[in-house]
Amino acid sequence: MPAYAIGFEPLGRKGECLSTQSLLACARQLGVGISAICGGQGKCHSCKIQILSGSVSRPTPSEHEVFSPEELKKGWRLACQTYPAGDCRLSVPPESMTTIQRAQVEGLEIAVRPEPPVQSYRLEIPIPTLAESQADAQRLLEALAQQHGLQCNKVDIDVLRTLSPRLRSWKWQSQASVRQDEVVALGPWPSHHLGLAVDLGTTKIAAYLVDLSDGQTLAAQGAINPQISYGEDVISRINGVMESPALGMKMQKLAVKSLKQLAIDLCTEVGANTEEVVEAVVVGNTTMHHLLAGLPVRQLALSPFVPTVSDALDVKARDLGLHIAPGAYVHLLPNIAGFIGADHVAMLLATDVWQSRGVTLALDIGTNTEVSLIVNGKITAISCASGPAFEGYHIKHGMRAASGAIERVQILDDIVQYQTVDEAPPVGICGSGALDAMAQLYLTGVLNKGGRMIDSHSRVRTRKEQREFILVTADERDGQPDITLTQKDVRELQLAKAAIRTGIQVLLETSGCSEEDVDQVVIAGAFGTYIDVSSAIAVGMLPPLG
Amino acid sequence: MPAYAIGFEPLGRKGECLSTQSLLACARQLGVGISAICGGQGKCHSCKIQILSGSVSRPTPSEHEVFSPEELKKGWRLACQTYPAGDCRLSVPPESMTTIQRAQVEGLEIAVRPEPPVQSYRLEIPIPTLAESQADAQRLLEALAQQHGLQCNKVDIDVLRTLSPRLRSWKWQSQASVRQDEVVALGPWPSHHLGLAVDLGTTKIAAYLVDLSDGQTLAAQGAINPQISYGEDVISRINGVMESPALGMKMQKLAVKSLKQLAIDLCTEVGANTEEVVEAVVVGNTTMHHLLAGLPVRQLALSPFVPTVSDALDVKARDLGLHIAPGAYVHLLPNIAGFIGADHVAMLLATDVWQSRGVTLALDIGTNTEVSLIVNGKITAISCASGPAFEGYHIKHGMRAASGAIERVQILDDIVQYQTVDEAPPVGICGSGALDAMAQLYLTGVLNKGGRMIDSHSRVRTRKEQREFILVTADERDGQPDITLTQKDVRELQLAKAAIRTGIQVLLETSGCSEEDVDQVVIAGAFGTYIDVSSAIAVGMLPPLG
């Protein structure tokens, strides 16, 4: 079977690819992170690449659908649909790469008084002499007892491994970080005292560096979950592991690699060392939680959908492959069930809704959306497969809420008013913008009750047998293509909002409540900050509120 | 700089060697375990090899000393003294290899009632249903609580990583191993319940597989400590690390590799799986302890000779790189000081001398010999650099106490009577035999008070300007060379015994005791079982006993 030499630009990675192997498969083998949220089935169109030289297989029907003849002529292809027919060199554009994308991490910050499980103490350790030659670890523990009244009895093995030379080079002045009865880190005095908080989403990862002494968030950064190249939702990732068990550990390593890089970037930003991060907290849905911890996931997808573990988990960071402070733990919040994860628990905790009076709906909108109904402190939760439309995927001009994304839309007859992130020239449309657009199109009669687009509006046209509404014309964009919302986009958004609304209805019925009983709706996260609630009600995603 | 292809037989390992690199250095690079107890200085003569083909450097003076012209002609060389001058192939004889040697592990077994820190329990875990869909780990912990009244709250992460598929494949019947409040292993019911006990000596490693349910030793096996190729005593190994810090982790890995192999061999012997070993206990002197745990050793060699840690240490086996039960711990006994290690603590515990009445001397004879003086329960300990003579090293015909080793000697005029291990034809002389021989030679006047050999005895001859006493003649060995004890051997044995006696005297003086006060002498380990106490007294290693 012939094999060809493939070069990936601008990364400069080179490797061999069999003629029976797609360029996406080759990229994965070489560790080139090409986005492929449908798992390489030619459906999501996220793996666009450009052939620079060499010969490849002929375009497939799905490629003809995505690219214009001119684009195909210029070498634009989908990596999952393209097979080499000789040595070739190709370019991976930034938007097709999984690693350099950055996700949105802002949101409403809630002030909390920090009660970190790790505390730091300044120590002056007596210098050993022939008469007082106790072991270094014993002198450390004694100093903690005498100078701070602590009854520690354990020093982490990785702290011990550098203890003796470090104490000597620091002239016996140091800062010890203590968790329960264990010294988990040791630094010179003074050192930072940092915590890492991570929301490990199916699609996006958000990481925050927190000063544990005052609870202040020092820096935040996001990234695309690199596991996305093995499937966009949790079920396709679990299916992947069921077909090939080694994939579980591969996805574990991918997620950790991403966390490592985020930790490095965040620390660099504030001039700290990753060794000064003495605790990490990670939340995610149950599948993300299990994949990160290296736990089995097969049973999550089979009735009765049992997690391996649901209690909170304290795992040494090194046992996950994460390198922060030598003895640091990663705290994983408890999962409630196979599809209600630690991320939802974190949301309930952070928003304080778990102790609210009356009837509250709490939503965490993502590729999986979790909804809790809190009735006088009693919580019932449900998970809905809402898909990634609100995160900008599966929408023709969809994008994350980055600079230039249309985030607000108002339509008056044939006039479209919009607002973009950073007030930059429009580039595409993000979740809140798409929701607004759909609501406005419905309210102005461009969409009927079933979501079908009429064709009598001046801004509606038909392209490739599909109606689409022109939000921004090429004229307004100096000749760049129109930005539209297509009939298919509307269908995707309907699927997402219907999944969420169905979840809400099931919860209300199960709890014997009616829509009118709902006193409060809390929507978590960045999306919750930007969403227009009236649009959400207009399209039927949320019930009418009193 | 020219490089040559070198082949090592019978291992079949091949690799390149620079002309400036000794064959020993080349062997080390390739991971071929050639013994080099002097660290490659041409002194110990343990790295004998035979050149089979190709050209090498000319013999050095120290090689002329070791080999006869005929042996040199046959290609016999010291690997540390020989440099390649072209491609070559060489043979490593079994006695020069570190890995296949097996050390002595027998001794007086003391019956103890086991009180293992890990207990095993049979569990029948309820099968999950949609109505009872708690997480697998929670159901495991609940079963421990309900079926055995245990309040565990933790399952090791590596146990969790296989928990769900295993419970299902075992049809929810299992055996859980619990340490304090943590599940450290899970097997099908019934599984073995095993412990691994290891004496990590500077020269030899002895490992024992113990049934934790009844305390019975199921199998024992020994090996040469592979660190020996980086120096024969603790000081030369510490010096090695001080010169090249990476050597510390290299020696750590070598020791663990040896423990791994011993665990596999022992388990194979009794038809068990290494995963059924739920706890390991390791003792060793402070340097061996630190090197195994990956702790720094530099400060051990510099005043005030401070260990990094002296308390007992419980480390996850995986944190040492040792793979037994997934969540198993390695328990390292406490060290007393930089040169009184956990091995001596174990000896004091095992022999129960720590609670003996009267005055007791307790000795642990090895390359480093530790001596404790117990006066009505008060223990004072000292360490002596006795060297490896009693372990058969540095003695011309020295060997370990294996089949054919002369272990008892009696001399009457010119008649030598001896006894060998297994009553096999004599091959060499082991520690107890050498001690006997020296005592007998002294008692019969062949050695004077200072240890000088007279030349008027019919069995004394001079070879290479050195007197030697013929213990076994070539005639008695069907023409194989005589087995002798040389003047140099006597000097080595004198150094060893003098070091030990000096330690005893210092202890007695410090404690204000006299030799006559000593009620009891306990000598630990295999050597203690075989040593002739009257010989030890005759040569002055032990004080005269009442």
The answer, yes or no, to whether residue B98 has pLDDT greater than 70, is no
Q: What angle do CA A92, A93, A96 make, to 5 degrees?
A: 85
Residue entry with tokens 């994008």:
A399
**Of the ranges A131-135, A222-226, A247-251, B414-418, which one carries the lowest mean pLDDT score?**
A222-226
Give the pLDDT of residue B12.
Answer: 62
Question: Which tens digits make up the pLDDT trace of B136-194?
Answer: 999 999 999 999 999 999 999 999 999 999 999 999 999 999 999 999 999 999 999 99
DSSP code, position B126: P
Which residue did the predictor score with more confidence, B126 or B39? B126
Give the pLDDT of residue B202.
Answer: 87
Decide if A70 touches B, using CB distance below 8 A: no
Cβ atoms of residues B67 and B59 within 8 Å: yes
Which residue did the predictor score with more confidence, B234 or A14? B234
- Whole-angstrom distance, CA of residue B474 vs CA of residue B284: 40
Answer yes or no: do B304 and A161 touch at CB < 8 A.
no
Question: Could you please report the per-residue DSSP string of A288-356?
Answer: HHHHHHT---GGGSSTT---S--S-EEEEHHHHT--SSTT-EEEEPPP-BTTB-HHHHHHHHHH-GGG-
The CATH number corresponding to A118-187 among 3.10.20.30, 3.40.50.450, 3.10.20.880, 3.90.1010.10 equals: 3.10.20.880
Give the pLDDT of residue A40.
Answer: 77
Cβ atoms of residues A507 and A514 within 8 Å: no
Which residue did the predictor score with more confidence, B519 or B110? B519
Q: From the list B298, B303, B306, which residue is nearest A135 (CB)?
A: B306
Residues 291-330 of A with CB under 8 A from B: 293-296, 298-299, 303-311, 313, 315-316, 318-319
Chain A closest CA to B158's CA: distance in Å?
9
The answer, yes or no, to whether residue B512 has pLDDT greater than 80, is yes
The CATH number corresponding to A194-343 among 3.30.450.90, 3.30.420.480, 3.40.50.300, 2.40.50.140 equals: 3.30.420.480
Which residue did the predictor score with more confidence, B359 or B37? B359
The answer, yes or no, to whether residue B99 has pLDDT greater than 60, is no
Name residue B154's amino acid. K
Interface test with A, best of B125, B127, B136, B238 (most A CBs within 10 A): B136
Give the pLDDT of residue A16.
Answer: 85
Highest-scoring range by mean pLDDT, A46-55, A358-367, B377-386, B494-503: B494-503
Give the pLDDT of residue B104.
Answer: 45
Contacts of B296 in chain A (CB under 8 A): 161-165
The answer, yes or no, to whether residue B10 has pLDDT greater than 70, is no
ipTM: 0.78
- Whole-angstrom distance, CA of residue B335 vs CA of residue A393: 61
Give the pLDDT of residue A255.
Answer: 97
**A465 Rama sector, left if φ>0, alpha if ψ -120 to 50, beta otherwise:** left
The answer, yes or no, to whether residue B22 has pLDDT greater than 80, is yes
- Same fold for the pair A118-187 and A194-343: no
**Of the ranges A272-276, A491-495, B64-68, B173-177, which one carries the lowest mean pLDDT score?**
B64-68
Q: Quick one: average pLDDT of A245-251?
A: 94
Rg (CA), chain A: 26
Extents of the domains making up chain A: 3-96, 118-187, 194-343, 356-546
Cβ atoms of residues B56 and B83 within 8 Å: yes
Cβ atoms of residues A409 and A539 within 8 Å: no
Chain B closest CA to A9's CA: distance in Å?
37
Q: How confident is the model at residue A102 (pLDDT cuts 50, 70, 90)?
A: very low
Contacts of A140 in chain B (CB under 8 A): none
Give the pLDDT of residue A94.
Answer: 66
Give the pLDDT of residue A511.
Answer: 93
Q: Quick one: average pLDDT of A30-44?
A: 74
Q: Quick one: average pLDDT of A147-165?
A: 97
- Whole-angstrom distance, CA of residue A493 vs CA of residue A434: 8
Give the pLDDT of residue B308.
Answer: 97
Decide if A135 touches B, using CB distance below 8 A: yes
Mean of all residue pLDDT scores within chain B: 90
The answer, yes or no, to whether residue B523 has pLDDT greater than 60, is yes
Chain A closest CA to B338's CA: distance in Å?
8
Which residue did the predictor score with more confidence, B110 or B384? B384
Contacts of B310 in chain A (CB under 8 A): 134-135, 137-138
The answer, yes or no, to whether residue A104 has pLDDT greater than 70, is no
CA distances from B286 to A40, B240, B345 (A): 57, 16, 11
Answer yes or no: do A135 and B335 touch at CB < 8 A.
yes
Answer yes or no: do A315 and B133 touch at CB < 8 A.
no
Answer yes or no: do A311 and B337 touch at CB < 8 A.
no
Question: Which tens digits make up the pLDDT trace of A313-361?
Answer: 999 999 999 999 999 999 999 998 888 999 999 989 888 888 888 899 9
Residue A535, token pair as written in the block: 């649009």
Q: Which residues contact A88 (CB under 8 A, 6 or more apart)?
A: A4, A6, A7, A51, A52, A53, A54, A55, A56
% chain A with pLDDT above 90 = 63
Q: Quick one: average pLDDT of A358-370?
A: 89
The answer, yes or no, to whether residue A8 has pLDDT greater than 50, is yes
The answer, yes or no, to whether residue B389 has pLDDT greater than 80, is yes
Q: What is the CATH number of domain B103-351?
A: 3.30.420.480
Answer yes or no: do B168 and A299 touch at CB < 8 A.
yes
Q: From the list A304, A309, A319, which residue is nearest B137 (CB)?
A: A309
The answer, yes or no, to whether residue B387 has pLDDT greater than 90, is no
- Whole-angstrom distance, CA of residue B447 vs CA of residue B441: 6
The answer, yes or no, to whether residue B439 has pLDDT greater than 50, is yes
The answer, yes or no, to whether residue B103 has pLDDT greater than 50, is no
Chain B closest CA to A386's CA: distance in Å?
23
Chain A residue with Cα closest to B136: A308
Kind and range of the H or E element at B145? Answer: helix B136-148
Q: Which residues pair with B54 in a beta bridge?
A: B88
Chain A closest CA to B119's CA: distance in Å?
23
Give the pLDDT of residue A495.
Answer: 95
* CB pairs A-B closer than 8 Å: 128
Answer yes or no: do B128 and A306 touch at CB < 8 A.
yes
Question: Which tens digits make up the pLDDT trace of A107-151?
Answer: 556 677 789 999 999 999 999 999 999 999 999 999 999 999 999
Nearest to B26 by CA among B10, B4, B43: B4
Give the pLDDT of residue A99.
Answer: 47
Q: Quick one: average pLDDT of A501-520?
A: 93
Answer yes or no: do B309 and A160 touch at CB < 8 A.
yes
Q: Nearest 5°: phi and psi at B319?
A: -75, -15
Mutual angle of helices B286-293 and A157-169, in 10-degree steps? 110
Chain A closest CA to B327's CA: distance in Å?
11
Give the pLDDT of residue B11.
Answer: 64
Q: A3-96 architecture in CATH?
A: Roll (3.10)
Q: How confident is the model at residue A12 (pLDDT cuts 50, 70, 90)?
A: low
Question: Which tens digits make up the pLDDT trace of B290-329?
Answer: 999 999 999 999 999 999 999 999 999 999 999 999 999 9
